[in-house]
């Protein structure tokens, strides 16, 4: 098998070497942009990938060119067998990373280091304890904040993912940037995105330009340094001169970056999504349990990928709530 035929390439020539695996649909927070207020119907435990299935299916993706795997949820650390999953995946020749809300990550530091995890993305939408409760419906702010400091002290590269929502936390943009002055973290502002049940409206989105206007109101042009983005990076990266950390903007709504996309997503119940906004999936887990060859399903899924946001090329199309009604809620896709 030559290298060209073994990689996962879509009809637009994009090579997909980055797999995001959701380990669970459960979470110990209840952020409204991720989970509908009324909750979600969780898949029965028997319908979810077990530790061995996660490993074996991931191994197939690595065979076909995947070089990076991110573990997500829900909150991946709520799985009791997370240590076993991490240990198995660490045997693969991949860059292994994690997205977590950091509520309980202090209990997993040794396991993460042993598994070769060097980068951790922490979801944190506010630097206010009171507002944290308003957004997550839980009183874990102090625990999360201290665990972020712990991760930094333990040598992890920490990225803070903050979903900006008008009237909720958009007044904290400069507070987060100020946090990078004395902390070597990468703050990433993410535009609020539409998913089933999260009551998304375009008017609630803080755009890339609005974020930069806010930054420009506090810092001079010479202080705001544009950084070189990594290949396939979804974020536009910046740094304030003299700050230890950086900030970035992920502008999925107002300035999509689909032309360089190399990402594929595997849900906790083993369904493959070739786009965050795709309403179509391929059930790999059932096929795997039936001892079928899942490579044709994987290739079919990748080859059918649209050029832009699951075919929603215009702002009008993307902003139509009906276009997202048959997609999953974010908690059931994976961060």
- pLDDT tens per residue across span 187-205: 999 998 777 666 667 778 8
Joined tokens for residue 318: 């993307």
> What is the pLDDT at residue 285?
98
Domain boundaries, the chain: 3-333
pTM across the whole model: 0.93
Query: d(Cα 255, Cα 276) in Å, to the nearest integer?
Result: 15
Task: Write out the CATH class of domain 3-333.
Answer: alpha beta
- pLDDT tens per residue across span 98-134: 999 999 999 999 999 999 999 999 999 999 999 999 9
Mean pLDDT across the chain:
92
| Chain center to CA of 284 | 21
- pLDDT tens per residue across span 141-191: 999 999 999 999 999 999 999 999 999 999 999 999 999 999 999 999 999
Joined tokens for residue 93: 């020749």
Give the SS3 label for residue 224: strand
Tell the residue number behind the tokens 């999936």, with chain if given: 281
User: Cα torsion for 311, 313, 316, 317, to the nearest 10°?
Assistant: 0
Closest CA to 190 of 219, 168, 171, 211: 211
Query: d(Cα 321, Cα 193) in Å, to the nearest integer?
Result: 11
Query: d(Cα 61, Cα 139) in Å, to the nearest integer?
Result: 38
Query: d(Cα 112, Cα 14) in Å, to the nearest integer?
Result: 31
């Amino acid at each position: 098998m030559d290298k060209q035929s073994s990689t996962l390439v879509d009809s637009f020539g994009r090579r997909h070497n980055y797999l995001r695996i959701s380990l669970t649909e459960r979470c110990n927070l209840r952020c409204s942009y991720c989970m509908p207020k009324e909750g979600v119907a969780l898949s029965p435990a028997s319908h979810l990938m077990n530790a061995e299935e996660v490993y074996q299916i991931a191994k197939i993706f690595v065979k076909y060119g995947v070089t990076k795997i991110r573990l997500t949820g829900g909150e991946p650390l709520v799985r009791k067998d997370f240590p076993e999953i991490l240990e198995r995946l660490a045997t693969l020749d991949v860059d292994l990373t994690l997205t977590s809300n950091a509520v309980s990550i202090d209990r997993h530091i040794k396991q993460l280091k042993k598994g070769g995890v060097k980068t951790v993305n922490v979801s944190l939408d506010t630097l206010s304890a009171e507002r944290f409760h308003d957004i997550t419906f839980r009183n874990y702010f102090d625990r999360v904040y201290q665990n972020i400091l712990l991760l930094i002290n333990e040598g992890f590269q920490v990225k803070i993912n903050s979903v900006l929502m008008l009237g909720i936390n958009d007044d904290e943009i400069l507070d987060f940037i100020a946090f990078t002055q004395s902390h070597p973290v990468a703050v990433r502002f993410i535009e609020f995105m539409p998913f089933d049940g999260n009551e998304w409206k375009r008017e609630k989105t803080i755009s890339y330009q609005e974020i930069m206007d806010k930054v420009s109101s506090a810092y001079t042009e010479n202080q705001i340094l544009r950084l070189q983005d990594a290949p396939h990076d979804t974020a536009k990266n910046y740094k304030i001169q003299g700050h230890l950390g950086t900030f970035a903007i992920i502008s999925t709504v107002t300035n999509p970056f689909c032309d360089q996309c190399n990402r594929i997503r595997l849900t906790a119940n083993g369904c493959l999504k070739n786009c965050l906004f795709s309403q179509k999936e391929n059930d790999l887990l059932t096929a795997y349990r039936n001892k079928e060859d899942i490579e044709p399903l994987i290739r079919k899924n990748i080859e059918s990928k649209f050029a832009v946001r699951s075919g929603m090329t215009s702002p009008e199309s993307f902003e139509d709530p009906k276009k997202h009604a048959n997609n999953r809620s974010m908690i059931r896709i994976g961060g």
